[in-house]
């Protein structure tokens, strides 16, 4: 059996396992017994997958479905930074019971955009940090090898200390270890286009002008009023963090790629809190509240910590405006 090549391993109580399957029939064959085992052992189980798979699993397990909590991953995990709080709430809810918990979470599917995919993979890595000291939890993360690129499968091997292939369980020789995962995340981002609009800020007095700038740009790019307000609030929070923790100044850029409005805040600090924005802060003014709020309001949040600067990119999808209009017309 392969050994994990690291001196730092996840807590024994936490089993984070990648499940490699081939197509939907294989998915059902491999996950239904896992769920039945949880129910038969009186182990609380949370399943976060697509709506279509939820329906098929419910039909397969029959009366047991009443003892299983299902959530639509397309809703809770559209922005990957929102997934860890779901698992944290589940763990905290049962923390005093002492029983083992089980979960199935599938945040990665073939239709994910390249930007979403990187953030999903980062999420999978950070799960190992988030639950290193958690109550006993066995978390199974399915990967459809028939539809996913082989590079995604290789990254799953790096982000999960345990693997299951064709019913065989093993340790992952490729698992990167907690020290590597906790290091500042410096995955390169595509450069902002030359057409991006830009503003610098150096004091709290500049924030009002920055808010007006973001609002005007986002509106001109076609974002609706409510979503403009949410982007403005998010950008203001991130810029305030730059003033307090990022060297006292920063630069904001905003542009559109015709799919989304992208707002980037860059400063000279180096963010070294890997779970920032993924763990709900205590109190509305708690440390990390700005990133947390941005994660709740934006469709995608990208955080990078380079050697001499940090970058936060906030995405607001433009197609959501059309979806909202269609929904209003139907009603």
Residue 280 confidence (pLDDT) above 50: yes
Range with the lowest mean pLDDT among 76-80, 174-178, 202-206, 288-292?
288-292
pLDDT greater at residue 166 or residue 48: 48
Average pLDDT over residues 218-245: 96
- pLDDT on residue 274: 94
User: For residue 23, which phi and psi values (nearest 5 degrees)?
Assistant: 80, 170
18-47 pLDDT per residue, tens? 999 999 999 999 999 999 999 999 999 999
191 to 186, 194, 313: CA distances (angstroms): 14, 9, 11
What single-letter DSSP state applies at residue 102? Answer: E
Rounded CA-CA distance 236/300 in Å is 16
Residue 10 confidence (pLDDT) above 70: no
Rounded CA-CA distance 183/159 in Å is 14
Tokens of 258: 């015709």
Partners of residue 144 on adjacent β-strands: 21
At 287, the pLDDT band (50, 70, 90 cuts) reads low
- pLDDT on residue 281: 83
Rounded CA-CA distance 237/235 in Å is 5
């Amino acid at each position: 059996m392969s050994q994990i090549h690291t001196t730092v391993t996840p807590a024994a109580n936490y089993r984070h396992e990648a499940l490699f399957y081939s197509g939907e029939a294989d998915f059902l064959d491999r996950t239904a017994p896992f769920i039945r085992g949880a129910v038969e052992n009186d182990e609380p189980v949370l399943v976060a997958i697509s709506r279509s798979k939820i329906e098929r699993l419910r039909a397969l397990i029959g009366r047991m479905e009443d003892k299983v909590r299902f959530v639509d991953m397309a809703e809770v995990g559209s922005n990957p930074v929102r997934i860890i709080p779901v698992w944290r709430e589940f763990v905290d809810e049962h923390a005093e019971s002492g029983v083992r918990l089980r979960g199935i979470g599938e945040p990665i599917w073939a239709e994910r955009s390249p930007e979403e995919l990187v953030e999903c993979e980062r999420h999978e890595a950070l799960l190992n940090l988030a639950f290193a000291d958690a109550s006993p939890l066995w978390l199974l993360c399915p990967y459809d090898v028939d539809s996913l690129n082989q590079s995604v499968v290789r990254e799953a091997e790096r982000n999960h200390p345990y693997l299951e292939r064709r019913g065989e369980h093993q340790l992952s020789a490729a698992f990167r270890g907690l020290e590597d995962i906790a290091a500042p995340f410096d995955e390169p981002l595509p450069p902002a286009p030359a057409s991006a609009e830009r503003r610098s800020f150096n004091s709290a007095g500049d924030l009002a002008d920055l808010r007006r700038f973001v609002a005007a740009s986002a509106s001109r790019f076609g974002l609706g009023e409510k979503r403009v307000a949410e982007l403005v609030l998010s950008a203001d929070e991130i810029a305030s963090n730059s003033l307090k923790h990022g060297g006292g100044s920063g630069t904001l850029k905003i542009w559109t790629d015709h799919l989304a409005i992208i707002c980037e805040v860059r400063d000279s600090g180096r963010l070294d809190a890997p779970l920032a924005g993924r763990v709900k802060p205590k109190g509305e003014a708690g440390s990390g509240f700005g990133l947390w709020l941005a994660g709740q309001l934006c469709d995608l949040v990208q955080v990078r910590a380079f050697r001499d600067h940090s970058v936060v990119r906030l995405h607001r999808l433009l197609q959501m405006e059309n979806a909202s209009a269609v929904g209003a017309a139907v009603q």
